[in-house]
Amino acid sequence: MPGTGPRIVSLVPSLTEAVAVTLPGALVGATDWCSHPVDLDVVRIGGTKNPDVDRIVRLAPDLVVANEEENREPDLAALRAAGIEVLVTEVRDVPEAFRELARVLRACGAGARPRWLDEAEQAWARLPVPELRRSAVVPIWRRPWMVLGRDTFAGDVLARLGVDNVYARHADRYPRIPVEELRAAAPDLVVLPDEPYRFTADDGPEAFENVPCALVDGRRLTWYGPSLGDAPRVIGAALRAARR
């Protein structure tokens, strides 16, 4: 029954959705950025980078789930110093996402793998080998322009769908690259997600004249949770629909 298991606070939108869908009632707190499920009704504890540690402590959670990229170590250390157990995930590719999701859900009290997790893993396992590979730059911010670099979950998602990140070998994971250099890289495609920066048909493509631009769902590109199930279909359709 809801509320009889561990009390969980999530500092990661992806994990919030995964826990809420799998273990209704387990979450007692989540960040302001945790937008799914859309009807989630829990205490909001601030942002992923600036959580209200005191508020989290007052919630008396049995476990806080976090991520090494999205959350700051000083905040996690403060929670541990207050006697709270913190589970930190590391997700750099799709297989790792499935392993870490299973680990988190077990720690949160799930007795068995949820069906959505098995179905999502099967959806990715059934992907055919892409017939065509295209190079792309993948901006995640502008003013200044920032793109996906090396060793990112979103980069691996795109690679499995036939899109090779031009900056996959960059020294930084999220390098700042002037837009003139992005254009000079001569990608086959520009992939523009709607988060963390909200690129739209009127905000982003105009910077890449004569290069096809794919507007993609940022949640399905960057979140590892229930959205993984239809991410191949949804992102694949957006990539195929890319227009100049």
| pLDDT band, residue 5 (cuts 50/70/90) | confident
State the average pLDDT over residues 105-134.
95
**Residue 93 confidence (pLDDT):** 97
Strands of 8-10's sheet in order across = 43-44, 27-30, 8-10, 63-67, 86-89
Q: How many CA atoms lie within 13 A of 170 on its CB side?
A: 21
What is residue 131's predicted lDDT score, i.e. its pLDDT?
Answer: 87
Tell me how crowded residue 238 is: count the other CB atoms within 10 A of its CB: 19
Q: Exposed, middle or buried, 57 (CB in 10 Å: 0-12/13-18/19+)?
A: middle
244 pLDDT band, cuts 50/70/90, is: low
Average pLDDT, the chain: 95
Rounded to an integer, what distance in angstroms lies between the CA atom of residue 63 and that of residue 105?
11
- Would you say 147 and 207 are in contact if contact means Cβ atoms under 8 Å apart? no
pLDDT value of position 53: 98
196: cis peptide before it, omega within 30°?
yes
With 90 as the cut, is the pLDDT of residue 137 above it? yes
Mean pLDDT on 90-117? 97
> Which of the 8 DSSP states describes residue 176?
B
Percent of all residues in the chain with a pLDDT value above 70, rounded to a whole number: 98
> What is the mean predicted confidence (pLDDT) over 142-159?
97
Whole-prediction pTM value?
0.93
Question: Hey, what long-range contacts does 103-106 have (CB within 8 A, 24 or more apart)?
Answer: 104/15, 104/18, 104/19, 104/65, 105/18, 105/19, 105/22, 105/23
Q: What angle do CA 218, 50, 143 make, to 5 degrees?
A: 50
Residues 182-211: what's their mean pLDDT?
A: 96
Task: Convert the pLDDT of each residue in 32-78 to its tens digit.
Answer: 999 999 999 999 999 999 999 999 999 999 999 999 999 999 999 99
At residue 2 the predicted structure's pLDDT band, cuts being 50, 70 and 90, is: very low
Whether 211 and 187 have beta carbons less than 8 Å apart is answered as yes
